[in-house]
Amino acid sequence: MVLCTRPYMSEFFNSFRRDEDGGWTCVSNVTVDHPRGRIQVSAGTKLFPGTLFMGVDLATWLDAEMKNKDSWKHQG
């Protein structure tokens, strides 16, 4: 699933902090266009894998994208 285009992936990803408990915390307000509509995440929002936020499991997606982070600079 693609939540935003690759040139903006780093900006989106950097809006979150991976926490020791396996969750993600949004550290700055971020908006992303998704096939289900625009998703806005406010700073301070806590996301956990397996939990839907506006119909999308953003935490699981962030986990997967963290593994692909090095490839972002090669795509456009």
Query: What are 9-53's pLDDT values in tens digits?
Result: 677 888 999 999 999 999 999 988 777 778 899 999 999 999 999
Asked whether residue 1 is assigned to any structural domain, the reply reads no
Q: Are 49 and 63 in contact (CB under 8 A)?
A: yes
Say how many domains are in the chain: 1
Asked whether residue 75 is assigned to any structural domain, the reply reads no
Asked whether residue 58 is assigned to any structural domain, the reply reads yes
Its domain, for residue 53, covers: 6-69
Asked whether residue 76 is assigned to any structural domain, the reply reads no
Q: Give the global pTM.
A: 0.77
Helices (H), the chain: 9-13, 58-68
**Residue 57 identity (one-letter amino acid):** D
Asked whether residue 49 is assigned to any structural domain, the reply reads yes
In this prediction, residue 70 carries a pLDDT of 61
Per DSSP, the three-state class of 76 is coil
In this prediction, residue 38 carries a pLDDT of 84
Classify residue 75 by its DSSP letter. -
Asked whether residue 25 is assigned to any structural domain, the reply reads yes
pLDDT surpassing 70 at residue 5:
no
Q: Taking Cα atoms as reference points, which of 36, 29, 3, 34 lies closest to residue 14?
A: 29
Q: Which residue has the higher pLDDT, 3 or 16?
A: 16
pLDDT surpassing 50 at residue 1:
no
Asked whether residue 22 is assigned to any structural domain, the reply reads yes
